[in-house]
Chain A
């Protein structure tokens, strides 16, 4: 028998800041079209955590992000959104399996507004912890992005290049090598719309279903929307700075096959400090 006062929601907040270097921002195949740059990134989030039962946790959150590029200022971004996540554990204990469902909606605004739009991400994930220092999960995601602006450059072909949809499957694992250092690896396979920005390119033009000028990279660059498969391998090293902060180094290597003959690869390296309050 318990004396149980009315349970309130717990609040949480977090922030991160750092830099990301992307060696192929244009998602281009040809060396002449590839553009690389570094951006400063900041993000903040906060929300409420509810515990409806001993096996369930629900979080509602608000978040905001910003990116500022060193060269390609047209890619400078601010975005804000809201998310909800429910996690259910199948039993009691640290190592019991769990399932989580997450939904996130956001709006992004770029300096060059062809990318402006809303984004919806849904994720279903199942995982299990194997002892205190190792955990793994599998999941599927759906992503949908709607473009605010339609600026066709070719009559009869949509200019909503950034109207995108895709779905993916992923597997991830994290291992606390020491109490301070965590190594995490993740593999994603995504099938869906991708955007490649190049100078005028007949091959891509024929394969794309939406085209728009992409002045973020120069007046002679065009963004093409294609269907493609992207395989991404991600490695993350996270060094704990106490229990409320960490330094994170992430390397992601993505290889996309858009259609027979168009493949591109982009690698992003991120260094960021993360805090939780």
Chain B
């Protein structure tokens, strides 16, 4: 087999310049491999009026320049366990397919009349064969036609950069390119508009930016599940 062109070029270079050549090549490779920008994080904290942490709040970051990477969508899952949606709140990027498995002994009929997605899964048990694709941003409220108290929320984000707060009221949106972002928060009990929570943060100046919101929460409005005692009289 004849030597390759690279092998022939390498053989043509004398030993000392060959070392210089190698160092230069490595340096070039190192420069090329270095990320164009260091990734940054937005660390969000959401509390209520009393300073208590707020769980299940969705924090969304939208680049001011509108440039957002395309993230491949993986199926998300909203389960039904003990006649409740689990998780009660899920955040997904627009275009995400969601599967609605039913792990209860009783069949469910899941529906939504929300503008962001109207759909109905006719009465079923087990796992629907096809997921539902959530193709418009917004909040989708889920219900079950059999169990009126069941309620779930799907936050469909137009941005791939979002996170949901945990029990400690904290959420981190990691791996963001260093630029300006408009961040906002949504919660199912939020009193006021989501847009009113908008803040601008600059990840070009700091690798980690903390942002905090104090939300006024309304009582949750859902159909009551607790038993109601009824007493029978006699005549």
Q: Does B130 contact A (CB under 8 A)?
A: yes
Complex CA distance for A89 and B111, rounded to whole angstroms: 14
Residues of chain A lying within 8 A (CB to CB) of residue B107: 7, 51
A131's nearest neighbour on chain B, judged by CB, is B221
Residues of chain A lying within 8 A (CB to CB) of residue B175: none
Does the CB pair B226–A268 fall under 8 Å?
A: no
- Please tell me which one of the listed residues B113, B125, B226, B229 contacts residue A243 in the complex, with CB atoms under 8 A apart: B226
* Majority secondary structure of chain A interface residues (helix, strand, loop or mixed): strand
* Majority secondary structure of chain B interface residues (helix, strand, loop or mixed): loop
Do A275 and B227 form a contact, CB below 8 Å, given A51-B123, A53-B123?
yes
Does the CB pair A54–B235 fall under 8 Å?
A: no
- Please tell me which one of the listed residues A2, A18, A176 contacts residue B129 in the complex, with CB atoms under 8 A apart: A2
Do A254 and B227 form a contact, CB below 8 Å, given A5-B126, A93-B111?
no
Does the CB pair B231–A133 fall under 8 Å?
A: no
Query: How many A-B contacts at CB < 8 Å in the complex?
Result: 137
Q: Does B4 contact A (CB under 8 A)?
A: no
Q: Does A274 contact B (CB under 8 A)?
A: yes
Does the CB pair A245–B227 fall under 8 Å?
A: yes
Smallest CB-CB A-B distances: 9 pairs: A248-B229, A10-B106, A240-B226, A54-B109, A54-B123, A274-B229, A270-B231, A274-B227, A276-B227
Q: Does A230 contact B (CB under 8 A)?
A: yes
Residues of chain A lying within 8 A (CB to CB) of residue B113: 93
A57's nearest neighbour on chain B, judged by CB, is B146
- Please tell me which one of the listed residues B83, B221, B229 contacts residue A132 in the complex, with CB atoms under 8 A apart: B221
Residues of chain B lying within 8 A (CB to CB) of residue A266: 233
Complex CA distance for A5 and B102, rounded to whole angstroms: 10
Complex CA distance for A239 and B86, rounded to whole angstroms: 25
Tell me the A126-155 residues at the B interface (CB within 8 Å). 129, 131-133, 143
Q: List 13 A-B contacts (CB under 8 A).
A: A3-B127, A5-B125, A51-B146, A166-B235, A176-B221, A232-B233, A236-B230, A240-B226, A241-B226, A242-B226, A246-B229, A248-B229, A256-B235
Q: Does A94 contact B (CB under 8 A)?
A: yes
Do A129 and B148 form a contact, CB below 8 Å, given A1-B129, A9-B106, A51-B107?
yes
Q: Which A residues form the contact surface with B (CB < 8 A)?
A: 1-11, 14, 16, 18, 20, 27, 41, 49, 51, 53-55, 57, 89, 92-94, 129, 131-133, 143, 164, 166, 174, 176, 178-179, 182, 184, 190, 192-195, 230, 232, 236, 238, 240-246, 248, 250, 252, 254, 256, 266, 268, 270, 272-276
Minimal beta-carbon separation of B75 from chain A (angstroms): 15
Complex CA distance for A94 and B223, rounded to whole angstroms: 9
Q: Which of B123, B126, B227 has the most CB atoms of chain A within a 10 A radius of its CB?
A: B227
Residues of chain A lying within 8 A (CB to CB) of residue B21: none
Q: Does B49 contact A (CB under 8 A)?
A: no
Does the CB pair B227–A7 fall under 8 Å?
A: no
Do A178 and B219 form a contact, CB below 8 Å, given A16-B229, A94-B148, A241-B226?
yes
